[in-house]
């Protein structure tokens, strides 16, 4: 549809369900677009251009800020269910009948909710660095996450070196490259989120992660072909939760990358793009 890229795509506004959503669209139009759902306190600018532009080479990519995030109006709700309902309202307001959905971390919870609430809207699902309702160590932030998010960093962006990457030299080197990439868009960046976002998201995460009876039963109703991707060393949402997702979703492929933490897709962006593009193009087991 355009020659826009991650760097140049204008931020547009769209009204739906009483929210004014900020979003960006770019990439190869004509097929099923891929809608990205972002992690804790992140905005559209926290995506990796190598990932978004990489996938935009073969499909249209849609980034957006959900309700209450940055330049989107409204309040961040305190349940994942409401976040999912907002995302659905946004997608439908774009006039789209069918999309692929990618969700990272809390965005992966939202992606599951979108699929549960509007299964007809979702063709394929990509769940990255995320987990199921009531997964292992998901009732609260993990001890590692509490330490990492509780630390002050000289350079605020350095938080993401700890969240997304392991302590190994290789992983940290990949992290420093990622930080350069995600700052590459110089103009029309999103404002940082306000101070109400983190508490609301944490409350929603806590409800989603709380232990319950037969926690994984609900996954049986997600029939879409699903690709699950994570690092093998995720300390934010433990990697075993990706294995649990694969074991309980009826049609899910799992890929775990080595020596990688929560943001494995930023450590191996080219490989991730190849794996996701293969999956979304139907080179999947279905």
Q: Binding of a second copy at residue 247 (CB under 8 A)?
A: yes
**Exposed/middle/buried for residue 285 (C-beta within 10 Å: 0-12, 13-18, 19+):** exposed
Secondary structure of residue 14 in the 3-state scheme: strand
Binder of a second copy out of 14, 96, 254, 277 (CB under 8 A): 254
Q: Binding of a second copy at residue 283 (CB under 8 A)?
A: yes
Task: Please state the closest distance from residue 139 (CB atom) to a second copy, in A.
Answer: 22
Q: Binding of a second copy at residue 271 (CB under 8 A)?
A: yes
> Please, where are the H alpha helices in 30-154?
49-56, 80-93, 106-117, 143-150
β-pair partners for 101: 35, 125
Q: Binding of a second copy at residue 243 (CB under 8 A)?
A: yes
Q: Binding of a second copy at residue 246 (CB under 8 A)?
A: yes
Binder of a second copy out of 167, 183, 278, 281 (CB under 8 A): 278
Q: Binding of a second copy at residue 251 (CB under 8 A)?
A: yes
Pairwise CA distance, residues 182 & 198, whole Å: 21
Q: How many residues bind a second copy (CB under 8 A)?
A: 29
Task: Please state the closest distance from residue 264 (CB atom) to a second copy, in A.
Answer: 8
> Of residues 106-135, which lie at the interface with a second copy (CB under 8 A)?
none
Binder of a second copy out of 36, 190, 267, 280 (CB under 8 A): 267
Secondary structure of residue 175 in the 3-state scheme: helix
Query: Toward a second copy, which CB reaches closer, 79 or 168?
Result: 168
Block residue for tokens 């204008």: 10
Close Cβ partners of 73 (under 8 Å, ≥ 6 residues apart) = 19, 20, 67
């Amino acid at each position: 549809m355009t020659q826009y890229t991650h760097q140049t795509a204008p931020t547009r506004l769209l009204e739906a369900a009483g929210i004014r959503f900020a979003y960006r669209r770019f990439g190869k139009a004509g097929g099923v677009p891929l809608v990205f759902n972002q992690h804790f306190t992140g905005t559209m600018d926290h995506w990796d251009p190598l990932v978004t532009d990489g996938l935009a080479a073969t499909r249209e990519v849609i980034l957006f800020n959900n309700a209450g995030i940055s330049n989107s109006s409204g309040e961040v709700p305190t349940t994942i269910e409401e976040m999912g309902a907002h995302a659905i309202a946004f997608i439908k307001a774009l006039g789209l009948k069918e999309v692929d959905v990618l969700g990272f971390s809390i965005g992966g919870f939202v992606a599951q909710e979108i699929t549960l609430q509007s299964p007809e809207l979702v063709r394929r699902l990509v769940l990255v660095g995320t987990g199921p309702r009531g997964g292992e160590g998901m009732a609260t932030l993990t001890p590692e996450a509490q330490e990492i998010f509780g630390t002050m960093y000289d350079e605020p962006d350095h938080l993401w070196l700890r969240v997304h990457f392991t302590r190994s030299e290789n992983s940290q080197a990949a992290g420093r490259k990622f930080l350069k990439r995600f700052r590459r868009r110089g103009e029309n960046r999103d404002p940082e989120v306000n101070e109400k976002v983190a508490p609301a998201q944490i409350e929603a995460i806590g409800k989603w992660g709380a232990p319950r009876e037969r926690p994984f039963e609900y996954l049986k109703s997600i029939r879409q072909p699903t690709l699950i991707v994570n690092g093998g060393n995720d300390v934010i949402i433990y990697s075993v939760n990706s294995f649990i997702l694969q074991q309980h979703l009826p049609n899910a492929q799992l890929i775990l990358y080595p020596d990688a933490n929560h943001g494995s897709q930023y450590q191996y962006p080219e490989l991730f793009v190849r794996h996701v593009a293969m999956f979304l193009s139907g080179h999947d087991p279905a």
